[in-house]
């Protein structure tokens, strides 16, 4: 998939999320206030935070597709990780605010049961937000966008919070008003937990965490498949958004010419880039074989 298609899909998913959340936030806020449901108002605030988060994702995806420049030699791919981190912080702040509000309601001596209309709003929210999650995570995984996947989980936590709200509201309508603020606290906990998980994932990518073992093994195998490459070692890789940058060392017969060694390296780079489309660039250093200390090398068998 080329970068233009990736950007187009990312923008489409973001706009669907923004429009959907605007409609849901308005609906849940109105019904929450009319019905007197603490859990539904908390759920509306959660959907409102989704609007902000998805707007940030939209801008992050646009920035991540900017080409390299004099200040950013490796492009702007990490913008998506930064966006995912911002979303995580928004989620945690939102969750703590909702939890505090629900706690104050729980302590109130004048707890009242909400109207039954809030139940239908919660059901609608569950259906819509679960669909938004499935659609957004599918696109996010397809274009390998950490920011979009984080936003999808934002939708999923909203669906979960609506389930908690539904249970609380239903219980309150049946004569147990204390269940409504308790549901609000449960919603808050789920939101904070999801935000913390997304935050850790974003930190890992910003710390240049290596790709999966499967990716690293495939890089090694592809390199060793080149005739003339006797061994490969010091394979290092890091993610930059959905792209991967690789550095490695190959060993070739020490009696061949420098030009021939360069040809082997060029062929290895070509093979890696053409069989693994997410790899943006490969830097290969050529050493003579055998090395005096090749304990860490991977030789052909």
Q: Is 137 left (phi over 0), alpha (psi -120 to 50) or beta?
A: alpha
Residues 46 and 159 grouped into a single domain: yes
Q: What is the pLDDT along the chain (301 residues), one digit of tens a residue?
A: 667 777 788 888 889 989 988 998 898 889 888 888 776 787 787 778 778 778 888 888 888 778 888 888 777 878 878 888 887 888 788 788 778 877 877 776 565 667 778 888 888 888 998 999 999 989 988 887 777 887 887 788 778 777 877 877 788 778 777 777 787 788 788 778 878 887 887 887 787 778 888 899 999 999 999 989 999 988 999 887 777 899 999 999 989 999 999 999 999 999 999 998 788 889 999 999 876 554 455 556 4
**Residues 186, 286 within the same domain:** no
CATH code for the domain of 72: 1.20.1510.10
- Predicted pLDDT of residue 222: 93
Q: Are 86 and 200 in contact (CB under 8 A)?
A: no
Same domain assignment for residues 282 and 220: yes
Side-chain half-sphere CA neighbours of 262 within 13 A: 3
Residue 36 shares a structural domain with residue 131: yes
Do residue 136 and residue 161 come from a single domain?
A: yes
- How many Å apart are CA 204 and CA 81, to the nearest integer? 9
* Domain, as residue range, for 247: 213-299
Last residue in a domain, options 206, 230, 262: 206
Report the number of distinct structural domains present in the chain. Answer: 2
Residue 130 shares a structural domain with residue 166: yes
pTM reported for the whole predicted model: 0.64
Q: Which of 187, 206, 225 is the last residue of a domain?
A: 206
Nearest-CA neighbor of 47 among 148, 167, 170, 157? 157
* 3-state DSSP assignment of residue 180: helix
Domain co-membership, 13 together with 92: yes
Domain edge (last residue) among 206, 235, 261? 206
Phi and psi of 180, rounded to 5°?
-65, -55
Q: Based on the domain organization, do 140 and 124 belong to the same domain?
A: yes
Structural tokens at position 4: 């233009």
Indicate whether 218 and 283 sit together in one domain: yes
CATH of the domain at 268: 3.30.70.1350
b/e burial code for range 169-184 (CB count within 10 A of at least 16 → b): bbbbbeeebebbbbbb
d(CA 89, CA 80): 14
Q: How many CB atoms lie within 10 A of CB 96?
A: 15
Q: Which pLDDT score is estimated for 155?
A: 82
Q: Are residues 246 and 195 in the same domain?
A: no
Q: Which letter, b or e, does each residue of 204-242 get, where b requires 16 or more Cβ atoms within 10 Å of its Cβ?
A: ebeeeeebeeebbebbeebbbebebbbbbbebebbbbbb
Could you say which DSSP state residue 276 is in?
Answer: -
At 139, list the tokens: 């696109």
pLDDT value, residue 239: 80
Q: Are residues 220 and 288 in the same domain?
A: yes
- In this structure, the answer to whether residues 188 and 115 fall within a common structural domain is yes
């Amino acid at each position: 998939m080329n970068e233009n298609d990736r950007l187009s899909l990312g923008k489409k998913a973001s706009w669907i999320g923004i429009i959907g959340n605007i409609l849901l936030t308005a609906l849940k806020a109105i019904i929450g206030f009319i019905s007197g449901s603490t859990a539904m108002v908390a759920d509306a605030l959660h959907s409102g935070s989704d609007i902000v988060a998805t707007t940030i994702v939209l801008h992050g995806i646009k920035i991540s597709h900017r080409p390299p420049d004099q200040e950013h030699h490796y492009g702007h791919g990490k913008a998506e990780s930064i966006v995912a981190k911002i979303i995580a912080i928004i989620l945690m702040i939102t969750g703590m605010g909702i939890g505090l509000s629900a706690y104050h309601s729980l302590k109130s001596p004048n707890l009242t049961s909400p109207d039954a209309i809030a139940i239908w709003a919660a059901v609608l929210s569950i259906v819509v937000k679960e669909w938004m999650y499935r659609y957004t995570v599918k696109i996010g995984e397809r274009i390998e966008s950490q920011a979009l996947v984080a936003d999808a989980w934002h939708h999923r936590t909203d669906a979960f919070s609506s389930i908690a709200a539904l249970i609380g509201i239903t219980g309150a309508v049946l004569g147990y008003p204390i269940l409504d603020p308790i549901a609000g606290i449960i919603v808050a906990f789920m939101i904070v937990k999801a935000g913390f998980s997304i935050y850790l994932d974003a930190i890992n990518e910003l710390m240049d965490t290596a790709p999966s073992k499967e990716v690293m093994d495939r890089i090694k195998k592809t390199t060793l498949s080149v005739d003339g490459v006797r061994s490969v070692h010091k394979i290092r890789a890091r993610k930059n958004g959905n792209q991967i940058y690789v550095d490695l060392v190959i060993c070739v017969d020490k009696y061949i010419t420098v030009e021939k060694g360069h040809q082997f390296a060029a062929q290895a780079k070509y093979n890696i880039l053409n069989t693994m489309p997410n790899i943006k660039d490969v830097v290969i250093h050529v050493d003579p074989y055998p090395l005096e200390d090749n304990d860490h090398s991977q030789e052909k068998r």
